[in-house]
A and B are shown apart, each in its own frame.
Chain A
């Protein structure tokens, strides 16, 4: 199922509205408890793994990735709609290692997780 969804994502290509919504039944492993939060499959990310940002409103989130020395490696802006928003995480531009991934909304930390990017 994950591969099918991935294929759908890739076929979608670059688009302003690039998240996939209504994924509750598609990605049960990415469910977020409560109205807002961040979810990965597990603590390891490989190329094109999906993740979910659950949002209570239509808005924009900022995702930051920092290395073990707390250096900011990348920051992205993500648009989200009410509910679950699933995105692909690309890893080819990373060195393998441990990273901290944080989601901000209006400069307020919403969720944070430590991940190993392979």
Chain B
């Protein structure tokens, strides 16, 4: 599609006049702009300086070129010739000269092909501004070289033109065009005696054998002079591969680019934002398969998220506090019933989701579009609990308007660089294990946003000290990323009495909950049952997902420790000759008796 669009853009630029075949072709070559020779013509802006060259292609093997004179006409309202560089033999006499003055325009002869420029030299004519207003502003320069030796098939003259704003009413068609040319071979040994005087004569390339080809002219409406680089930055957490996330750029509703983020989550959209007045929208999407994305959500939303939410609503342990979240942005992630408040139902929804008894995701779908909120960084970092309670939207959709008549503050055209930054999360990832991290000094940090202490002290994050010399204190409860402790479970799969049995044994103290997800060879084994030996007060769960995975775990909701040595045995029946590889573990999570997340290691 991009190639087609490129071709369509270039169609006005290309002139498909025929070649001279065995004469001389002169090609008007576009060579980019000063500072970026790769810049396509379609992206040239006002105040860029374009580079054009006159390239000779001598197709006459019997003659050389020692004289070449090419006329190039241009609209001085749109372009201004700045300089010419020559590539001709030593001692060549090169001249670039404006001979028309301001106000002369070629009238091509209709008796010859337009690109037969030696024929046009002899048969064309010119309008002048004095007698025809349409010639106003048009000028003609000649680029002539007279050389003692063959000039050859080279870019003999390279010109730089400043691109000007001729206004929207200007007709930019063929605003730089080769109008005429003459070529001669004065190396007499090449030539015959044509007048019978006994001497060889100069050879003038014949009528119809000097042509402007491949390109005779350029037609381009320059873009606005916008010199700001524009980047989109997407932040994510966990194992999310940002190179599998893409963003489309839409201009007035039409897609103009579909770009992949680099490993750092950045993409440059500068070349696609070409107007300060059009509407531009971003649309995020992914190349993750549905199955891959579901796995990510399963890895992101685990037991520790449910327990953290239970704690937030005082349902873990004996009446825990009601302020366990560290960041305001955690509230919408935990609001599973979308009631705009965090209540026990949210916690139980999350727990049920983790256990696998149901999913609270919208429509029961694990789709990327509905489970991956993308939020402006400034909003995510500044979002407070009060914002949540007040119903302030986080605008989590994957479509973001970055410029329109009503959105004017995303791109500051006076800046050399604009970075439009977003943070992301997985819906339900309350502890942000797979979500963007919030800086410790952000206003959305709870210890900062809840800072209206009665004694007037400013409650601050401990990473920040007062710079008031009279208040040499460090305030606040702190939200620096906590060290996550570890727990251990011994795992073993063996064949016992003709059944494949995976045995899990907790080998750590102070563990109040754990969760594991097992894969097994569904082509050979049939899941039979799970037997827990975890004590009387522990809530156990084991759920077989549609894809055959086993989600199992235990939680002691009173926040007491599950006994060290507790075991879980998972039984399978089937036909295998060894247990090797029949059962694997792909996700684990655990919490301690304080409800804090533990890294659960298998051993």
Q: For B538, list chain A residues within 8 Å (CB).
A: none
Decide yes or no: A15 and B583 within 8 Å by CB, A76-B578, A87-B578 being known contacts: no
Whether A71 is near chain B, meaning CB under 8 Å from some CB there, is yes
Shortest C-beta distance, B480 to chain A (Å), equals: 25
Docked pose: A8 CA to B153 CA in angstroms: 76
Chain B 482-493 interface 0/1 with A at a Cβ cutoff of 8 Å (1 = within): 000000000111
Chain B, Cβ-Cβ closest to A17: B495
Chain B, Cβ-Cβ closest to A63: B580
Which of B497, B586, B601 gathers most chain A CB within 10 Å?
Answer: B586
Q: For A92, list chain B residues within 8 Å (CB).
A: 521-524, 581
Q: For B580, list chain A residues within 8 Å (CB).
A: 51, 63, 74, 76, 78, 87-90
Docked pose: A79 CA to B601 CA in angstroms: 26
Contact of B575 among A14, A51, A72 (CB under 8 A): A14
Shortest C-beta distance, A10 to chain B (Å), equals: 7
Contact of B577 among A15, A51, A65, A73 (CB under 8 A): A15
Decide yes or no: A72 and B491 within 8 Å by CB, A88-B576, A93-B520 being known contacts: yes
Which of A10, A18, A65 gathers most chain B CB within 10 Å?
Answer: A18
Whether B535 is near chain A, meaning CB under 8 Å from some CB there, is no
Chain A, Cβ-Cβ closest to B519: A93
Q: Does the CB pair A74–B575 fall under 8 Å?
A: no
Whether A19 is near chain B, meaning CB under 8 Å from some CB there, is yes
Q: Does the CB pair A94–B581 fall under 8 Å?
A: yes
Q: Does the CB pair B500–A14 fall under 8 Å?
A: yes
Q: Does the CB pair B603–A72 fall under 8 Å?
A: yes
Q: Does the CB pair B581–A89 fall under 8 Å?
A: yes
Contact of B579 among A12, A13, A76, A95 (CB under 8 A): A76
Contact of A14 among B520, B521, B523, B574 (CB under 8 A): B574
Chain B, Cβ-Cβ closest to A12: B577
Whether B582 is near chain A, meaning CB under 8 Å from some CB there, is yes
Decide yes or no: A65 and B500 within 8 Å by CB, A13-B575, A72-B603, A77-B494 being known contacts: no
Q: Does the CB pair A88–B577 fall under 8 Å?
A: yes
Say which size band chain B's interface belongs to: 20 to 34
Q: Does the CB pair A16–B497 fall under 8 Å?
A: yes
Is the contact region of chain B dominated by helix, strand, or loop, or is it mixed?
strand
Whether A9 is near chain B, meaning CB under 8 Å from some CB there, is yes
Q: Does the CB pair B581–A75 fall under 8 Å?
A: no
Q: For B498, list chain A residues within 8 Å (CB).
A: 13-16
Q: Does the CB pair B497–A74 fall under 8 Å?
A: no
Whether B202 is near chain A, meaning CB under 8 Å from some CB there, is no
Shortest C-beta distance, B497 to chain A (Å), equals: 7
Chain A, Cβ-Cβ closest to B579: A76
Q: Does the CB pair A94–B579 fall under 8 Å?
A: no
Docked pose: A16 CA to B492 CA in angstroms: 15
Q: Does the CB pair B577–A93 fall under 8 Å?
A: no
Chain A, Cβ-Cβ closest to B499: A14
Whether B585 is near chain A, meaning CB under 8 Å from some CB there, is yes
Q: For B578, list chain A residues within 8 Å (CB).
A: 18-19, 76, 78, 87-90
Q: For B524, list chain A residues within 8 Å (CB).
A: 90, 92
Q: Does the CB pair A73–B492 fall under 8 Å?
A: no
Contact of A93 among B495, B582, B602 (CB under 8 A): B582
Shortest C-beta distance, A116 to chain B (Å), equals: 14
Additional A-B contact list (15), CB under 8 Å, known A65-B584, A78-B580, A91-B581? A10-B577, A14-B575, A18-B576, A18-B578, A74-B583, A74-B584, A74-B585, A76-B493, A76-B578, A76-B579, A78-B579, A90-B521, A90-B524, A94-B581, A94-B584
7 tightest A-B CB contacts, nearest first: A87-B578, A90-B581, A77-B494, A72-B602, A93-B519, A92-B521, A76-B579
Residues of B within 8 A of A (CB): 491-500, 519-524, 573-586, 601-603
